[in-house]
Amino acid sequence: MNKTLLKTILKAVLGLIILAFLLAIPRFVESPYALHMMILLFLSVMMGQSWNILGGYAGQHSVGHAAYFGVGAYTTMMLMHSKQIPPWIGVWAGMALVIVVALAIGSICFRLRGPYFVLASIAVAEILRLSAINLTTLTNGAEGILATELPAFKIGGTVVTDFLTKVPFYYIGLFLVVLTIVVTFLVQHSKLGYFFQAIREDQDAAHSLGISISLYKNIALVISAVLTSLAGSFYGIYVGFVDPPTVLGLDVSVQIMLICIIGGMGTLWGPVLGSLILVPLSEALRSNMITEALVKVGMVSADSKLGLFLKENLSHAHVLLYGILVVLVILFMPDGLMGFVRKLALRRKREAV
């Protein structure tokens, strides 16, 4: 008893220290690039964690989460671009719309199980993507919406921030990450979370115990979709540009899933771990750091044919890395990194006994 209490206190203290550290970062770090990386990391954790609620805990592996991400991003951006509605109001419209979309999708897709559910979720996201391309009057079609001018955020006449640096985005991102993690924690430790997990483990058994399958699946979907839409809105505002492939494409859905799969589905820290691996790795590839490192070590000469080829092409191929990672993780650690670490810890414990 005492030991577990101590552990909880220790965990809480550790969490607070990390949070304080994260809060203090912009005071010491001025490099916009470093802040940009942190914001990308926050975004990735948000996306992964939102998927985790539906996919990890309730076991419904949607490969169509781009739908919610895109609806959030598009609603906020469209309202800001054509109606000059500031994003902190547009976000709510996005979330409201996403609830409607999610319930519509849920009523179709949750009648299906396993592979059929996956296919249906993809189809719905594709319908939304194609609609965004074709409804040119509303969404500006394939050209996308460019809106980089954010109005200053004021409370009672005093300007809180004018969004000129990356610092306000950093704090918004941090706030949203903490929010998603807290929501996941609350879900995990409530009756709701147990219902989700019961459905994941055995749908029929859960049903025979009196758990309303479709109700709880829809609740999981709505929570997951609203959080994903928040992430989408944040992405849209931060980048200042949305177009159908970058927010509604199948790649987005796969990427969202991947964060969880690599880190570990159905665990609170899995998406965080997954993001900590995926974001720096793909950024290193994108910004050609790997080629530069190879050149520095002397493995490849910068002017040789291979060096030039790598420099030109490796940055485009960061998705290749995703592919290799997925294959390796599925084949060798199907429970993700968290599962792998737990297994190791368990083995050590056993050996110690």
Partner 1 sequence: MAVFLQSLISGVLIGGVYALIGIGLTLIFGVMRVINFAHGDILMVGMYLTYLIFTLLGIDPFVSVLITFPLMFLFGGFLQKVFINRVLNALAQNQILLTIGLGLIMSNTVMLIFTSDYKILTTSYSSASIKVGGGISVSTPLLISFLITAAITAALYWFLLKTDTGQAIRATAQDREAAQLMGINVKRMSIIAFGLGSALAGTAGALISPTYYIFPQVGGIFTLKAFVITVLGGMGSVIGATLGGILIGITESMGAVYISSGWKDVIVFVLFLLVLLFKPSGLMGKSRT
Site string for partner 1, 91-130 (x = CB under 8 A): -----------------x--xx-xxx-xxx-xxx-xx--x
Residue 134 touching partner 1 (CB under 8 A): yes
Among 34, 37, 133, 308, binds partner 1 (CB under 8 A): 133
By beta-carbon proximity to partner 1, the closer residue of 257 and 295 is 257
Q: Which is nearer to partner 1, 233 or 275 (CB)?
A: 275
Q: Is 267 helix (H, G, I), strand (E, B) or coil?
A: coil
Q: Are 93 and 73 spatial neighbours (Cβ–Cβ below 8 Å)?
A: no
Q: Tokens for 27, please give them.
A: 């005071």
What is the Rg, in whole angstroms, of the alpha carbon atoms belonging to the chain? 21
Q: How far is the CB of 141 from partner 1 (least distance, A)?
A: 9
Question: Contact between 22 and partner 1 (CB under 8 A)?
Answer: no
Q: Which is nearer to partner 1, 198 or 261 (CB)?
A: 261
CA distance 82 to 136: 13
Report phi then psi at 165, rounded to 5: -110, -175
- In the numeric block, which tokens belong to residue 169? 């985005």
Window 29-58: contact mask with partner 1 (x via CB under 8 A): ------------------------------
Q: Collapsing DSSP states into helix, strand and coil, what is residue 146?
A: strand
Using the Cα atoms of residue 75, residue 229, residue 279 and residue 123 in order, give the sign of their dihedral.
negative
Q: Which of 65, 109, 73 lies closest to 250 in space, CA to CA?
A: 65
What is the smallest separation between the CB atom of 265 and partner 1, expressed in angstroms?
9
User: For residues 51 and 64, what is the distance between their CA atoms, to the nearest angstrom?
Assistant: 10
> Is there binding between residue 261 and partner 1 (CB under 8 A)?
yes
User: Is residue 343 involved in binding partner 1 (CB under 8 A)?
Assistant: no
Side-chain half-sphere of 151: how many Cα atoms within 13 Å?
15
Instruction: Between 10 and 317, name the residue whose CB sits nearer to partner 1.
Output: 317
CB of 1 to partner 1, least distance (A): 37
Please, which of residues 289-318 interact with partner 1 by CB under 8 A? Answer: 313-314, 316-317
Contact call for residues 245 and 253 (beta carbons, < 8 A): no
Q: In angstroms, rounded to a whole number, what is the distance separating the alpha carbons of residues 260 and 56?
A: 8
Nearer to partner 1, 32 or 323 (CB): 323
Q: How far is the CB of 162 from partner 1 (least distance, A)?
A: 38
Contacting residues toward partner 1, per CB under 8 A: 61, 63, 108, 111-112, 114-116, 118-120, 122-124, 126-127, 130-131, 133-134, 250, 254, 257, 261, 313-314, 316-317, 319-320, 322-327, 330-331, 334
